[in-house]
Amino acid sequence: METAPRQIVAFGGGGFSMESGNPLLDDYVLGLAKAERPRVCFLPSASGDADHYIVRFYRAFSAHRCEPSHISLFRREQGPSDLRRHLLSQDLIYVGGGSVVSLLGVWRAHGIDSILREAWESGVILCGLSAGSLCWFAEAVTGFHGEAKRLRGMGLLPFSNCVHYERGGERRDAYHRFLREGMCGGYAAEDGAALHFVGEELNRVVASRPQARGYRLDVAGRRVVEMQIATTYLGDREAPPAAPLPEALSTAPAPAAG
Amino acid sequence: MSGNGRLPEAATPVRRILALGGHEFSSRPPDRAVCELLLRLAGERGGARPRICILPTASGDTSEQISSFYAAFGERPCEPSDVSLFRLGRRPLALRDHLLSQDLIYVGGGSLLNLLAVWEAHDIASILSLAWRQGIVLAGQSAGAMCWFEAGITKSSGKPLAAAGLGLLSGSLCVHYNNEPERRAAYLDAVADGMPSGYGLDDYAGLLWEGEGNPSSLTARRGARAYRVSSREGEVLESPLPVRFLPAPAPAALREDIAEFRRITGMRKRAGWLG
């Protein structure tokens, strides 16, 4: 039996949380799972396990195309009692947005961080947007509350990360400043763009919006070098996938949302 | 500096914590009695319109907890607010300044484990400890009561387990004492196994610390009790404490009618209609 590759899909923003009616990124991550009816577990910890968010997850990942579940760390008595077993049995773990500071705090308290590392190493695909993207990286730029701040993530990916990387946005300036101040190089993604990592390597950037892009950022001396990465728009049937893995190739691009 | 400059500079403000075994913000009489007590404690520091802030962190900042708080205090003589750490993205707030300008900080129930983890991540514990030393009343129920102690019994992981609190108060606390026998059993075991001794609180029973010394115990529902739980030579002792009963105030509608009645009586008196 071949070992499944370690995979993380980090959305700059998008999916059912932000793009109602545009399922391209959610379809993409679901398509990465090889199972016919993938087991998908939603972790809404960054939102404080908001009920409306959980309901929206179940609407987006309906039971006819996957086996959805969620773990609420604020109401443990209602969920699976063995968190580790549940998480390790998934094909895809989907982390919602919100406060990354709170997310990491709650995960540590319940030992979720080490379980997720184990899940990643055993081939469970990890994905998420916003806080659910930042958490996987060594360092992150959070702008959730007030001024943009620098913080340490779980470090599965040895890079820095910035989400909602819109042109002219405050986060962009803050990220560049942090890089000049010694933050490790990394990746940024605009809303609608997702960074797909296989192992610790960026495999490709996909997007649910034609203009959304991902970026590579490095520091040369005191200068920040920002490089736009070729991005595959998932709504374009004709677009050839950019150097994808076999499992990524098997993903049928969904039609563009109206 | 004392709160809002409304109190004279005191050398050491009285440190006050109100720990409640369990209640809701409903219109039922015992819940109204709890609200009245919170208003009174806040008013003793803040005057006619004290500032009362809820930290709903332990619930994950549920709309339910926040809206029931506003429903209870919105129409009362106070300035209610909430600090929802999970919602700061949409409502930025100067956390420290806001919390330190309160007269009473109320912590809602939920997961004790998550409460402390999120507070630690946002560095809230040091602010609360400072608030306490400045005389801001700290209060809460369930997880929001146990958090002030050295230890408590939480069901944050499903089954009742011992967990550490902030330790502003020495000893331990177990909440929902009458309602959750498994929690009480876990507490008695934990105290026998060396958890610092402390208190058991039924729903609607409370303990109020005002300055040094022992707390006073109170109840908003007849029959609800507070217990001192201690271990002596391997045996756990559970002794009920004498409690003071807090009667419920009249409901809002009745309160308004009474005020109206008094106003009319006053007018009639002034007009010389009554003797």
Order of strands across the sheet that contains B79-82: B79-82, B51-55, B104-107, B137-141, B16-20, B205-210, B216-219, B244-245
Q: For B193-230, write each residue's pLDDT tens digit.
A: 999 999 999 999 999 999 888 999 999 999 999 999 99
Q: What global pTM score does this model have?
A: 0.84
d(CA A48, CA A102): 8
Q: What is the mean pLDDT of residues B104-121?
A: 96
Helix B112-122 × helix A100-110 angle, to 10°: 130
Q: For A160-203, write each residue's pLDDT tens digit.
A: 999 999 888 889 999 999 999 999 999 999 999 999 999 999 99
Q: How many angstroms away from the CA of A80 is the closest CA of chain B?
A: 9
Are residues A102 and B85, on separate chains, in Cβ contact within 8 Å?
Answer: yes
Are residues A105 and B117, on separate chains, in Cβ contact within 8 Å?
Answer: yes
Are residues A51 and B113, on separate chains, in Cβ contact within 8 Å?
Answer: no
Q: Choose the catalytic residue: B59, B68, B142, B156.
A: B142
Predicted pLDDT at B274:
53
> Is residue B176 among the annotated active site residues?
yes
Q: What is the mean pLDDT of residues A120-142?
A: 97
Predicted pLDDT at A239:
52
Chain A residues whose CB is inside 8 A of the B155 CB are: 76-77
Chain B residues whose CB is inside 8 A of the A105 CB are: 114, 117-118, 120-122
What residues of A are in the B interface, CB distance below 8 Å? 46-51, 73-77, 81, 98-99, 101-102, 104-106, 108-110, 144-146
Q: For A215-235, write each residue's pLDDT tens digit.
A: 999 998 889 999 999 999 999
> Is residue B26 among the annotated active site residues?
no
Predicted pLDDT at A253:
37
Are residues A105 and B155, on separate chains, in Cβ contact within 8 Å?
Answer: no
Predicted pLDDT at A252:
35
**Shortest CA distance from A102: residue in chain B:** B118
Quote the tokens at residue B231.
Answer: 């271990």
**Shortest CA distance from B163: residue in chain A:** A109
Q: What is the DSSP letter of A68?
A: E
Q: Choose the catalytic residue: B59, B68, B176, B217.
A: B176
Quote the tokens at residue B135.
Answer: 């005389």
Q: What is the mean pLDDT of chain A?
A: 90
d(CA B200, CA B198): 7
- Give A82's strand partners: none
Residues sharing a CB contact under 8 Å with residue A20, sequence separation 6 or more, in sequence order: none
